[in-house]
Amino acid sequence: MRIAIASDHAATDLKAELRDWLIEEGHEVADLGPEPGESVDYPDYGRKLADVVSEGTAERGIALCGSGIGISMACNRNPEIRCALVSEPLSAALAREHNDANVIAMGARLTGGEMAKACVTAFLSTDFAGGRHQRRVDKLSFLEN
């Protein structure tokens, strides 16, 4: 699977850990930055990630910042993105199954590497259920209209 990953400066270590692990698992990973040691603004990296996923360059995205909150808000400014803030595997699986999430966000200050990997595994291995959920997901793109 083609996966894009981005973070702010608070989450570069977790980003690198997840990127390397995903590559070992056989995924194609686009690391959108930043490099360790740079102080950056999470909205810039949330937008980069959202653009790559909405354009179809990546099938899924992983957004990281200190809490996961700010970068998830930034991603969700793009109407093609359904980014869910997750902290454990059940929320990651339900985000896919019920909400057809195409991006997950996590907080590096709140979620350790092993839990983050468990969340990513659930996110990538769960299919969207469709059915009654499709109607609800369709409405998400039209909330501003």
Of 59, 62, 70, residue with least CA distance to 32: 62
Q: Is 6 helix (H, G, I), strand (E, B) or coil?
A: strand
Whether 132 has a binding-site annotation, put simply, is: yes
Mean pLDDT by runs of 10 across the 145 residues of the chain is: 98 98 98 94 98 98 98 96 98 97 98 98 94 86 60
Q: Which one of the listed residues 27, 98, 119, 133 is annotated catalytic?
A: 98
Whether 87 has a binding-site annotation, put simply, is: no
Q: What is the CATH number of the domain that holds 92?
A: 3.40.1400.10
Position 145 scores a pLDDT of: 46
Whether 67 has a binding-site annotation, put simply, is: yes
Predicted TM-score of the model (pTM): 0.95
Q: Which one of the listed residues 27, 65, 83, 133 is annotated catalytic?
A: 65
Q: Is 58 helix (H, G, I), strand (E, B) or coil?
A: coil
Q: Is 75 in the active site?
A: no
**Tally of domains within the chain:** 1
Beta bridge partners of 85: 105
Q: Is 98 in the active site?
A: yes
For residue 39, the tally of other CB atoms under 10 A from its CB is 8
Please indicate, yes or no, if residue 40 is contained in any of the structural domains.
Answer: yes
Please indicate, yes or no, if residue 145 is contained in any of the structural domains.
Answer: no
Whether 9 has a binding-site annotation, put simply, is: yes
Position 130 scores a pLDDT of: 83
Residue 48: give the domain boundaries. Answer: 2-140
